[in-house]
Amino acid sequence: MKFFRSPQATPYLLLMPAIIVILAVVLVPLLVSFWTSFTSYNLVRPDSLYNFVGLRNYKRLWGNEDFWWAFGRTVVFITIALNLEMLMGLGLALLVNRITWGQRTLRTIMMFPMMFSPILVGFQFKYLFNDSVGLVNNALFSLGLITKPIPWLVDGFLANFSIIVAEMWMSTSIFAILLMAGLLAMPKDPIEAAKVDGCNALQVFRHITLPFLMPFIWIAMTIRSLDVARAYDMVKIMTNGGPAGRTELIWTLMTRTGYQNSQMGMANAMGYVSILLSIAFTIMFYRNLSKARVFMGGAQ
């Protein structure tokens, strides 16, 4: 008790409420879901919560083709989306950076997609890509490029394409804005030194600008990896995993298994896989961020 009144206790006391909330709303549920993933828990049979089945759920997942498709699709989706967003964001940042007028306005426009909740982005693209009333098909018709509607969200390949487009629309600007902040913070001296040393524009970018931007790129990646699972909202409203499971991601499969099929035990096992997946991405980016910081000589 005496400890709590000593000055050393102050930081712990300050952190106490935060710790309690996180324990109650994140850690305890995670323990519950960990336990549940080893039971045959079914929502319609509450007593099955105590029916321990060991690794059965995980074994079944291991042999479940649908799950592996969803898992693989999720990894590919995250990889493609994040990399394309980063490249487009970098391009956009460099583009805007070269413009000397109206940067504020341009940046404000770039903030625009960031205000949209993922569910709205999903709805918006569901509407744009709708085969009968969607803007995309209407425009293509009007330009005379097509004669019959393209089934954007019905065809498996096109549906995945549409989802990636929606995802990129939502998140490219986050990269662009963070990278612009990086470009803004960049000292001019090294660039001028490099020019004096005989570098051309491309070499300056490759050897000076890009290494300086790397920490910013990794921050953007880390921040993004924290909420890649937002894509769930988007996919949920756009295709809900359809057609015929062709756009099923691990997150949509999980909720379908848990809430519609009531197989909570199995769903929680998937949940654990998805949590590990998220953590793996975050840690990967974070480690790169730390490395890039060291590379910058600790000047930051």
Partner 1 sequence: MLRLTLFVAMMILVVPGAWVVLTAFRPNVEVMARPPVWIPQQWTLNNFLGIFGFLPDRQQGLPVPSYFINSMVISLTSTFVAILVGMMGGYAFARYRFKGKGALFLSFMLSRTVPGVALSLPLFILWSKIGLIDTKFGLILVYMAINIPFTIWLTDGFFRQIPADLSEAAQIDGCTRWQAFWKVEFPLARSGLASAGIFAFLTAWNEFALASQLTRTTASKTMPVGLMDFTAQFTVDWTGMSAMAVLIIIPALILTFIVQKHLIAGLTFGGVKG
Site for partner 1 in 203-232 (CB under 8 A): 215-216, 219, 222-223, 225-226, 228-230, 232
Determine which residue in the list 82, 159, 163, 264 makes contact with partner 1, applying CB under 8 A: 264
CB of 187 to partner 1, least distance (A): 13
Q: Confirm or reject binding of residue 6 to partner 1 (CB under 8 A).
A: no
Q: Is 119 in the site for partner 1 (CB under 8 A)?
A: yes
112 binds partner 1 (CB under 8 A): yes
133 binds partner 1 (CB under 8 A): yes
In sequence order, what are the beta bridge partners of 52? Answer: 39
Q: Site for partner 1 (CB under 8 A): which residue of 53, 56, 64, 116?
A: 116
HEC-encoded secondary structure of 122-162: HHHHHHHCCCCCCHHHHHHHHCCCCCCCCCCCCCHHHHHHH
Site residue total, partner 1 (CB under 8 A): 94
What is the separation of C-alpha 101 from the centre of its chain, rounded to a whole number of angstroms?
32
296: which 2 tokens? 């910058």
197 CA to centre of own chain = 40
- Write down the residue that tokens 């896989």 correspond to: 273
| Cβ 58 to partner 1 shortest distance, Å | 15
Q: Least distance (Å) from partner 1 to the CB of residue 287? A: 12
Distance CA(186)–CA(197), nearest Å, equals 19
Please state the separation of Cα 156 from the chain's center in Å: 22
Residue 261 CB, nearest approach to partner 1 (Å): 13
The residue (of 86 and 229) whose beta carbon lies closer to partner 1 is 229
Closest CA to 74 of 220, 230, 217: 230
Task: Output the smallest distance, CB 197 to partner 1, in A.
Answer: 26
Q: Which residue has the tokens 């490249």?
A: 87
Binding mask 87-106 for partner 1 (x = CB under 8 A): -----x--xx-xx------x
Beta carbons within 10 angstroms of residue 49's beta carbon: 17
Give SS3 for 52: strand
Least distance in angstroms from the C-beta of 159 to partner 1: 16
Assigned token pair, 26: 């994140």
Question: Is residue 282 close enough to count as binding partner 1 by CB under 8 A?
Answer: yes
120 lines the binding site for partner 1 (CB under 8 A): yes
Contact status, residue 207 vs residue 292, Cβ threshold 8 Å: no
Which residues are paired to 39 by β-bridges? 52
Q: Dihedral, CA atoms, 133, 137, 143, 145, nearest 10 degrees?
A: -140
Q: Return the range that interacts with partner 1 (CB under 8 A); candidates 7-15, 61-69, 155-163, 192-200.
A: 7-15
x/- binding map, residues 22-61, to partner 1, per CB under 8 A?
x-xxxxxxx-xx--x----x-------x------------
Cβ 56 to partner 1 shortest distance, Å: 17
Question: Contact between 275 and partner 1 (CB under 8 A)?
Answer: yes
| 3-class secondary-structure state, position 187 | coil
- 150 lies in the site for partner 1, by CB under 8 A: no
Cβ 40 to partner 1 shortest distance, Å: 14
